[in-house]
Amino acid sequence: MRVQMLGLCRFSYVGMRGYQVEHESYDERRAYLYDPQRLARRWFWFTEIALPAWRMQTDPDFTLVVMTGPDLPEPYLGRLRDLEAEIPQLKLELVPPMKYHLKACRAAVAPHIDPSADVIGHFRHDDDDAVAVNYIEAARKDFRRVKGLWKAEGKLSLDYSRGLILRSEKGKVRLIPRICHNATAALTIFLPPDADETALNYDHSKLAQWMPGVAVTRPLMFVRTLHGDNDSGDMGPGLPWQLDEEALNRQISARFGLRPQWLEKIAAGL
């Protein structure tokens, strides 16, 4: 059974729906998302947190669609084009503003669906989060273990729940080990290739309403950031777990391709 792994990352896409922060008009939304200081911070998170592990995936057979608007200000649009040329798995989609956000997301993803695949593993990836370097490999392997659940309904969620919350506030940064069920990072929604939906169609906090789900609580699989630019700054429900500083430094390097000094670099860049 061939599984295509297909993700969507929205980079300051100007749409009127799909976010918790609301604006009254397109111009107001555009001004907010394209504010130069905000774009600089988003680029910092994207390149320093998100990209290292995508470059290092142990299974390179995946597609990550980066969705933004055709009027994204320079130098960021040019930088995204450069990344597309550099990273084979990264595909840039310039989507004009659309009234309905889910249709916009579908428009970005649809050109990259492989109709010869038996299953599409859809995932959403926020531009300031990270997944582990073996996320793609693990998702394929674990899907094979539970594919009977998918066959029964044609929908299945696979949730890697063990992660780190990176909280940045008032110039200080700290990491909080946390088990969070159905957080957006490292969560895969398996659908048929002809489905009209993507991962964005399903509220990750209410997945049980639509499909069976499997939670895999080991190993450490994601970093989720909380800071002033978040659409939602809530850590949400979860369970604490313990990791000493020495082990934490080893894990952030081995699991996410991040250097132990990255927290200081982040703090200095904010």
pTM of the predicted model, to two decimals?
A: 0.93
Query: What is the residue type of 21?
Result: V
pLDDT > 90: what percent of the chain? Answer: 76
Residue 260: the pLDDT is 65
Q: Judge if the upstream peptide bond of residue 75 is cis by omega within 30 degrees of 0.
A: yes
What structural domains and CATH numbers belong to the chain? Answer: 3-269 (3.90.550)
Between 74 and 266, the higher pLDDT residue: 74
Residue 261: the pLDDT is 72
Pairing of strands 172-179, 239-240: antiparallel
Residue 253: the pLDDT is 92
- Mean pLDDT, to the nearest integer, of 186-212? 95
pLDDT tens digits for range 22-46: 556 888 989 999 999 999 999 999 9
Residue 25: the pLDDT is 81
Say if residues 149 and 156 touch (Cβ distance below 8 Å).
yes
Between 62 and 27, the higher pLDDT residue: 62
Residue 38: the pLDDT is 94
- Mean pLDDT, to the nearest integer, of 73-88? 98
Given a cut of 90, is residue 249 above it in pLDDT? no
Between 106-120, 221-235, 252-266, the lowest mean confidence (pLDDT) is in 221-235
Cα 233 to Cα 264: distance, rounded to the nearest angstrom: 21
Question: What mean pLDDT is reported for the chain?
Answer: 91
User: Which 3 state secondary structure label does DSSP give 194?
Assistant: coil
